[in-house]
Chain A
């Protein structure tokens, strides 16, 4: 092929073996005068200093820095200030208050209540999602081709359903008058925990039933991702391993814990940490199920922080301290996630 385009800036891939040396200068046309000249000089500058990767990174880095990292820094800053409505409107200046916001939080029973709800709900949601997702993943791996495609398509539908829709649907399913859940439970035989006392049972009036419902939504939305990930992992294990384990007399339970789990351990580790991060910070589902910000005894940490910031009178300083605590907790879990990912070779 003949070289058709000359003098293009060599800024994309310096290692791709592009012809060495810049295109020849036009005699009598100093480069800095014309646009072409400028482009050529710029290209040479980029190549000489190996700037291409940095230029390619720049837009994303700038956007993330401005809209994600800077707000995080601001949260930390506000948490040491008396930031409220007067400070927002500028009618009185912000003042540093040291650790006052944090001291207030630590003496606030509502904080401890919301933290307890966050921890407890994550403790239930995470194992439940992981176990159900793993079981469905194992089931998918043993189904025939068509059936597996059908079940995984249906699961993808649950995964793709917006959290808002899922929450509203589940509230409707569990509504005290006319909801399917109460009807079903009232028809269930007593030895399965059913009975007439379920008729008209309200799932949103107290923390325990509300979080049971939230758990159902979280599991329903979350198990497909686990199932598909586990299935993808299972596909990487040679079938001979399972066959020889079966020949050696291993039952499904033994095979899972002795063969599958050890081999998929990195995947499970990442899925576990991701689930902890998602479920500890669950917001939308709880927000809708407890009916916006009405019932304070049903707040989890994220909702308590949000209510502190956006319910009147807004206390942005205290809310920022809560937000910072939430962020730190999640970052500690994230460190585990990052280390697990790096160990899996994610950075290569």
Chain B
């Protein structure tokens, strides 16, 4: 092969790589743009929301929008109230669904029993039932149980609706733990409970983290049930319906709407960026069957 040909081939490879990188950058920029615009608007004073030519960055950045959201001067209640509601509902339902799912996952990964496949198929189907359909019956049931306008009702629903996915995910993680480890522990005289605490649980922990993240995102973002159950009691609102309510009542106050939406969204995004590497490793480990 002549030197010229080799060089040309190297050149085309470089050009192709540059082109691909450019394309990647373009995809990243387009994807990031809505989030960027939200944050940028949140820092803009009212005079800069509507301009003939949009400016990407605020020329006179202000914290006024955030202040209005946090001290609650726009809808009467401070942001913290809604953050507290959301975190309470989310954390309790994530813990509950993870614990319940772990038990089921152990059964599905470690035992062969009647109805095992039936149960798995049932989970797949249940996961697909439309929430806007079930919300009618749950609304009527919760009304008679006095669970409307109550965060407890939401916790129950979020726990139940997170279960199918968390069980499926955790099942793969449990199955990935070699059975031999538990058998060795049993031979060494550890009872099943001890084997669980000392061996299975530590090894499944990354899987628990991964599934918790999914349950967390589901509960933190959930809209239909919160909208329906917490209809009248503003103080009980979780963040998604707070943002929607805020937007519905302050039609033109885009700075404050974007500030509220930023305060709702950015924590999740930061959280995701922090855990994503571990998450992806966990997901891959979970997908590999033992």
List, in ascending order, chain A residues with CB within 8 A of B27's CB: 136, 139, 151, 154-155
- Say yes or no: A283 contacts B49, CB within 8 Å: no
- Say yes or no: A54 contacts B113, CB within 8 Å: yes
List, in ascending order, chain A residues with CB within 8 A of B20's CB: 139, 142-143, 147
A52 to B106, CA, bound (A): 10
Question: Interface size on B (CB < 8 Å)?
Answer: 103
Q: Is A4 an interface residue (CB 8 A)?
A: yes
Q: Is A277 an interface residue (CB 8 A)?
A: yes
- Say yes or no: A156 contacts B272, CB within 8 Å: yes
- Say yes or no: B161 contacts A68, CB within 8 Å: yes
- Say yes or no: A316 contacts B195, CB within 8 Å: no
| Contact flag A18-B113 (CB < 8 Å), given A168-B244, A288-B247 | no
Q: Is B68 an interface residue (CB 8 A)?
A: no
Question: Interface size on A (CB < 8 Å)?
Answer: 108
Identify the stretch in B58-66, B77-85, B138-146 within 8 Å (CB) of chain A at 4 or more residues: B138-146
A59 to B27, CA, bound (A): 44
A306 to B49, CA, bound (A): 34
| Contact flag A220-B24 (CB < 8 Å), given A288-B244, A338-B121 | no
Identify the stretch in A7-15, A109-117, A190-198, A241-249 within 8 Å (CB) of chain B at 4 or more residues: A7-15
Q: Is B110 an interface residue (CB 8 A)?
A: yes
List, in ascending order, chain A residues with CB within 8 A of B139's CB: 309-310
Most A CB contacts (10 A, CB to CB) among B167, B223, B228 go to B223
Most B CB contacts (10 A, CB to CB) among A17, A70, A277, A291 go to A17
Identify the stretch in A100-108, A122-130, A325-333 within 8 Å (CB) of chain B at 4 or more residues: A325-333
B160-202 near A? 1/0 per residue, CB < 8 Å? 1101100100000000000100110011111111111000000
A:139-168 near B, CB below 8 Å: 139-140, 142-144, 147-148, 150-151, 153-158, 160-166, 168
Partner of A148, one of B24, B31, B183: B24
List, in ascending order, chain B residues with CB within 8 A of A169's CB: 34-35, 37-38, 258, 261
Partner of B186, one of A16, A74, A347: A16
Q: Is B257 an interface residue (CB 8 A)?
A: yes
- Say yes or no: A60 contacts B276, CB within 8 Å: no
A303 to B27, CA, bound (A): 32
CB distance from B76 to the nearest CB of A (A): 20
Q: What is A's interface to B at a CB cutoff of 8 Å?
A: 1-5, 8-13, 15-19, 50, 52-54, 56-57, 59-61, 63-64, 66-72, 74-75, 78, 83, 88, 136, 139-140, 142-144, 147-148, 150-151, 153-158, 160-166, 168-173, 175, 177-178, 180, 183, 220, 224, 232, 277, 281, 283-284, 287-288, 291-292, 302-303, 305-306, 309-310, 316, 319-320, 323-324, 326-327, 330-331, 333-334, 337-338, 341-342, 346-348
Contacts beyond the supplied A78-B136, A334-B125: 20 A-B pairs with Cβ under 8 Å: A5-B190, A16-B192, A50-B113, A67-B159, A71-B141, A83-B140, A139-B23, A143-B24, A157-B273, A158-B35, A161-B34, A161-B35, A163-B221, A163-B223, A164-B241, A169-B37, A178-B51, A309-B135, A323-B136, A346-B120
